[in-house]
Structure 1
Amino acid sequence: MPGARHRHRRSGPSLRGVAAVAAVPLMVGALTCGWLVLRGGAGPVRCDRTITLGVTTSPSLATALSAAAAAYGSGKPTVSGYCVSVRVDTAGGGQVASYMRGGWTDPTAGPIPDVWVPDSTDWLTLARTTEPANRLLVDTGTVIATSPVVIAMPRPMAEVFGWPRRELSWADLRKLGGDEGYWGSRGRPAWGGFTVGLPDPRVSTAGMTALADAVAAALKTPVERLTEDMFTDGLEAKGALLDLERSSALVAASDTDLLTAVRAADLEDPTATRLTAFPLQESLVYQYNRRVGIGAALPDGRGPELAAFYPRDGTELDEIRYTVLSRASDDPVKAEVARDFLRTLTSGPGRVALLGNGLRPPDGIADSFTARTGLTPRPRMTPERTLDATVLTALQGSFAGVHQRGNTLAVLDTSGSMNEEVPGSAGRSRLSVALDAAKSAIPLFAEDSNLGLWQFSTRLRGDQDWEELVPLGPMGERLGAGTRSQVVMDAVNRIEPRGDTGLYDTALAAFRYMNQHYVPGRPNQVVLLTDGKNSDPGSIALDELVRILRREYSPQRPVQVITIGYGADTDLAALSRISAATGAETYPALDPNTIFEVLVDALTEVPG
């Protein structure tokens, strides 16, 4: 369906006898749509003009399509007096989708292709969200190959785990990730823990599929029933993303970067970045093991071959579609050239090239993909599924939020009003509920995220309304006998409410503090939580505070003041003005029992 993610259920016969097909010489003369297509003649081909078909494809497909283009060109094809050639360019699906959404007007995009062959229909779905893209992508595409997303594991580890008989699911990946004693308990202490790798889902088909399936498994819902709201408003989906992201020893910028790390890692070397399991397109497992395609371009290393697990809770065949853009389909000559090259891809030499780079035929059956190659020829597949663009976009956005490494100063209101009881909380105070939420939020910060902690009321240190409890720095940094994470937890446990609410002076001081401790390339933010309104008669006025924040805020070095209004007595109008002056949001938590959910939303929001 338009704007949806399509998966293909395997069916039909296997692709046996491909080698025999490839042996048939390509000497074809055909009249199609009024254009004479000649390939390979007995004598030299004469033509007065040349035409080039530009094909843009994903890195995992580039070698196969280049080989097919070379086979096609060896026949010296001509179309209506034009000598024909095919140029294959390589670009990630996410980047091409972005260019398409803008109508390919970005000056850095290079020449617009005639044909786009992404490694998943997800990228076509994400592209077809604007009118300019839909004008370019009028073709629904022809499926030329398929490749499921699998869970890859170094083969020695996989064999100890029980491969190929034992299965591994997306739920297992989330459950086992981070188990530091896993291999030691199985007689292989040198291998360390069960470490997970993840390619960035904003650029990797495998990363995007893995996150969707992991969230679906955590929510106990079919992946096709995931909705945008589950990611934008639901705590469970964000929790599943956080678990997988935080348990990942490596979040790689691309599939290639992940495989580079895998090949470099000696399993017996305790100093190496050894990964136990990671999502990967099956074709890349094949290319890595056979050292073809991307696998041939990787640096040498001591990493062993890989084995593929086909998750029982979701193994889907990604369709690889040959999609002709309108600029080619509107040109009769280009359109015929595009059809002619498609015939090569779906015939002997094209199928040999695709199969030789780990791509299954459209029916999904590849009997040559045996355990010797680390694969399974006929794995169990799930039925066809669809995810629309809003869900894919929300998934990628939520991941960006949980993956960001922030530079954050948490500022907690500890005034006397925080001692009031919260209805429906079994007699607990506002402060008690808020501190429990804060303690639950501390694990949201990765070890390389920066966090500092202040409290505020009035006159905590002389005339100063705020007090530093933990200095700003990396969560994993040692402070005395423990890490900053442990010190923050201990400081939270010691907080007691007293005094009035010195909101305005504290907000300005926190903003200026973070400007002085700005870290480039990270979201620099104050997260300020309060249950009331400014009640310090000697403080700066609200209008003056807002003027100063606007004047000192720098778009080149942005520091945002994110405010959380806690309870029905909060001055949300004032908080909104404070946050807006720094380009940030105010998050109301009118029901104090929802404070943790609001904290998660605030901490995982990607700054605009």
Structure 2
Amino acid sequence: MAPVPRRSAARPAITSTTRRGVRGGLAVAVIAATAVALSACTFGQDDVDRGPIDGGDFADDGCTSVVVATSSEKVNMLDALAAAFKESPEHAALDECATIRPVNVSSGDATRFLTAGADWPDEDTRRWPTLWSPASTVWTERVAAAASASLVGEPVSFTHTPIIFAMPETMAKALGWPDAEIGISDFERLCADRAGWSSAGKPIWGSFKISKTNPNTSTTGLSAILMQSYEATGKTADLTADDVAAAEEFSRVFEECVIHYGDTTGKVLTTLYDETQNGAGGSGYVSAVALEETSMLNYNQGNPDSHTVQPGETLTPPKEKLVAIYPSGGSMWSDNPITVLGADWVTEVQRTAGEAFVDFLATEPAQRILPEYGFRPLDESVPLGDLFTEQYGVDPAGPAITLPRPAVDVVSAALDQWTQIRKPSSVLELIDVSGSMDDGNGDGRSKLDGAIDGAQTTLGHFRSTDEVGMWAFTTGVVSSAGENLIVLRDVSELGSDRETLSASIDDLRYANREGTPLYDAIAVAYDEMAARAEPGRINAIVVLSDGQDTDSSISIDSLIAKIGGTSREGGDAAPVRIFPIAYGEGADTGSLQRIAEATGGQWFDASDAAKIDLVFASVINNF
């Protein structure tokens, strides 16, 4: 591939970490602030869509098998690196041949597995990892703190990617892209303007909408709130806790634009992609998404959720690409470490081969492979190649300014501040309690038990000032909400009612369980939430169902027309989005997906019913 221009020499360089890995304030603060959340929440599209462990060809080739557990977006790249390793001097120096085998395990799942102190949770011991490559050193630091430093060895970063704001090209051009410098302050001004896009000459586009991930479970989300504080203070280094405090009002206004807080950018990008492909080519779903540059490159190639591309799979690029906005005030970067695990199942031969592979990743032949998969090499002499061009929305010279990791107390202050200023939520949870919920979910519980446990566990996520309601639906019941509905709690400020609501949810174990009036229940819930929806809140319905609609008076097409039409006709200021959970193999996945898409929400796949706790946590992370 032909070389492309490199970034300016004046730009602060990103350097490779040592074998000690990154021990900076960002990682340590995330560990301290999210130790409890990490044990309950999901991290990454793979957690709910493809299972905690996926992939791996383990045909015996006569060589030592060296498994590397890695996040999904790096599986294809590591396959190519594994093939190149076989031809490298590092491999030739081994006493016996070794085959590197990438296995798709999300960063958060791997963190939980390693901190649990037990064996790797896979019946096939051939799939137990020698190497681990999460998306960020935040996760290796988590294991080092919660388990032991020796378990995660000595992580070393071998590639990196900047945090950017990706925008649909048409919207970016309205702000002067690619010629104008665009900063987070420009976004903040659009957020502060009640007329939204009107100030940019596009009143028909409505409000300015931002998508961000939850900083308590996402390094991208955490980087974004730190970048806001940098921007508000005008600093490019030496950010302090006082600076974060001074930036509170700036960040509060910025958060008002957030459509909802996703657990992964993959779900937001998939929704955007589907709307773009099914519409006229554009979408008003979101104006800007905070994400890693590599995720945008995947999107523009037709892989919005950054899944592992299978041999023979054809990707269809979106009708409208996203373009990278490298904030004029600077960007933070995500690193991608790899380490040989100090687990007792790793043999000495595997350890030696794993160390050889880590050494190989720092070599020029390995670094030249990285850009082909949307990652930037650490070796500054390696050209970025064809992906890092305007065709794919990228400026190879960006970002112009690198923002350093602040100290531990600064990151803690930013997380604490976000908890107070994040956009408030008003959420109605709607749970199917029909007869099929008595079926087992594969882990010794009934489906209803799993749903109850999931709903109760996530109550701690909400603030006392958030509004929370809880309904259930089946036939043969009646309540203040109408026939076939059980009202456990009307939507109102949660206050100190967590224990009371938890006890009410537990009462569902004894509820009448008959038919499934799914569409009718959603229609009534939507009317309830639309009537009380307010601008400045995340107004949402979470609906869990394990089966097909059997007893509704409204059809799926009429329901879609109702909820979609309301969203289009004046609902932009206070939209109500629906987040369905397709629970178990019998759930009506197609209808639930249509319902989510009609309102700009997201659907979640819990076809493996035993994972309902993880999926419920993933949904609630959006608010």
TM-score of the aligned structures, taking structure 2 as reference length: 0.52
Report the CA distance between 1:74 and its aligned residue. 8.0
Q: Contact 2:236/2:403 (CA < 8 Å) preserved in 1?
A: no
Aligned to 2:384: 366
Residues 321-400 of structure 1 correspond to what in structure 2 (within 5 A)?
321-327=337-343, 331-347=347-363, 350-363=366-379, 366=384, 368=386, 369-383=388-402, 385-387=404-406, 392=411, 395=414, 399=418
**Which of 84, 88, 93 is matched with 2:102 structurally?**
88
Structure 1 residues 388 and 139: CA distance shift in structure 2, 3 A: farther
Alignment-derived partner of residue 187 in structure 2 = 173
* Contact 2:299–2:317 under 8 Å retained in 1: no
Query: Contact 1:137–1:326 at 8 Å: present in 2 too?
Result: yes
What SS does structure 2 have at the residue aligned with 1:275? coil
Select the residue among 218, 226, 239 that pairs with 1:204.
218
Q: Which residue of 1 aligns with 2:324?
A: 308
How far is 1:212 from its partner? 1.8
* Shift in alpha-carbon separation, 1:153–1:341, aligned structure 2, 3 A: same
Per-residue deviation at 1:283?
1.2
Q: How does 1:111-126 map to 2 (within 5 A)?
A: 113-126=129-142
Aligned residue for 1:535?
none
Contact in 1 for aligned 2:159/2:375 (Cα 8 Å): yes
User: Which of the numbers 43, 60, 69 marks the counterpart of 2:73?
Assistant: 60
| Residue number in structure 1 paired with 2:267 | 257
> Post-superposition shift, 1:148?
0.7
Amino acid at match of 2:395: T
RMSD, aligned α-carbons: 4.8
CA contact (8 A) 2:182 2:326 kept: yes
**Offset of residue 305 of structure 1:** 0.4
Tell me which residue corresponds to 2:163: 149
> In the TM superposition, what are the counterparts of 1:283-298 in structure 2 within 5 Å?
283-291=294-302, 294=305
Distance 2:252 2:76 in 1: 35
Cα distance change, pair 123–303 in 1 and its aligned pair in 2 (3 A): farther
Shift of 1:136: 0.9
Distance change (3 Å), C-alpha of 1:323 and 1:293: farther
Aligned-partner residue type, residue 254 of structure 1 = T
Gaps of 5+ in 1: 8-46, 409-444, 452-471, 475-514, 528-548, 560-605
Hey, what's the Cα distance between the residues in 2 that align with 1:105 and 1:239? 47
Per the TM alignment, residue 52 of structure 1 is displaced from its structure 2 partner at its CA by 1.8
Structure number with greater CO (CA < 8 Å, separation at least 6) is 2
What are the Cα deviations for residues 214-239 of structure 1, in whole angstroms up to 9, with x where unaligned? 13434666675345x998xx6x6765
**CA distance in 1 between partners of 2:324 and 2:258 (Å):** 18
Contact 1:103/1:133, CA 8 A, preserved across alignment: no
Map 1:9-88; keep pairs closer than 5 Å.
50-72=63-85, 82-88=96-102
Residues 354-400 of structure 1, C-alpha deviations (whole Å, 9 max, x = no match) = 20121111156736523232111122444562346676566556656
Q: Report % sequence identity.
A: 21
Alignment partner of 1:139 is 2:154: yes
Cα distance in 1 between the residues matched to 2:276 and 2:418: 30
Mapping of residues 258-273 of structure 1, within 5 Å: 258-266=268-276, 273=284
SS in 1 for 2:145: coil
Provide the rounded CA distance (Å) in 1 between the counterparts of 2:101 and 2:488: 49
1:461-495 per-position Cα deviation (integer Å, ceiling 9, x unaligned): xxxxxxxxxxx899xxxxxxxxxxxxxxxxxxxxx
Q: Give the 5 Å matches for 1:449-528.
A: 449-450=466-467, 517-518=488-489, 524-526=494-496
Gaps of 5+ in 2: 1-20, 28-59, 310-314, 429-461, 472-485, 508-620
Partner residue of 2:256? 246
Deviation at 1:341, TM superposition (A): 2.4
Measured in 2, the distance between the counterparts of 1:90 and 1:136 equals 20
CA distance in structure 1 between the aligned counterparts of 2:258 and 2:143, rounded to whole angstroms: 29
Amino acid at match of 2:334: D
Deviation of 1:170 after TM superposition, in Å, equals: 2.6
- Aligned length, in residue pairs: 395
Amino acid at match of 1:65: L
Change (3 A) 1:71 1:379: same
Distance 1:102 1:361, change over 3 A: same
Question: Structure 1 length as normaliser, TM-score?
Answer: 0.53
Residue of structure 2 equivalent to 1:225? 239
- The answer to whether the 8 Å contact 2:236/2:330 transfers is no
CA contact (8 A) 1:100 1:133 kept: no
**C-alpha deviations, 1:468-527, integer Å up to 9, x for none?**
xxxx899xxxxxxxxxxxxxxxxxxxxxxxxxxxxxxxxxxxxxxxx984379x994338
Is the Cα–Cα contact under 8 Å of residues 196 and 277 in structure 1 kept in the other structure? yes
SS for the counterpart of 1:225 is coil
The aligned amino acid for 1:133 is S
Q: 1:105 to 1:202 in 2, by over 3 A?
A: farther
Quickly say closer, same or farther: Cα 1:68–1:48, change in 2 above 3 A: closer
Paired amino acid for 1:159: K
Distance in 1 of aligned mates of 2:145 and 2:390: 41
Alpha-carbon distance in 2 for matches of 1:95, 1:392: 24
Distance in 2, Cα, partners of 1:352 & 1:363: 9
- SS of the aligned residue for 1:518 comes to strand
SS in 2 for 1:139: coil
Q: 1:138 to 1:555 in 2, by over 3 A?
A: farther
Aligned to 2:50: none
Write the distance in 1 (CA, Å) between the matches of 2:325 and 2:26: 22
Cα deviation 1:232-253 (Å, max 9, x = unaligned): xx6x676565544432124323
Structure 1 partner of 2:24: 4
CA separation of 1:282/1:398 partners in 2, compared to 1, >3 Å: closer, same or farther? same
1:240 to 1:133, Cα distance in 2 relative to 1, 3 A:
farther
Q: What's the CA shift string for 1:143-192, capped at 9, x where partnerless?
A: 31111111111112112211122122233333323745343454444433
| AA matched with 1:175 | R
Residue 289 of structure 2 corresponds to which residue in structure 1? 278
Q: Is the 8 A contact 1:138 1:326 kept in 2?
A: yes
Query: How much does 1:279 deviate?
Result: 1.0
CA distance in 2, matches of 1:360, 1:270: 29
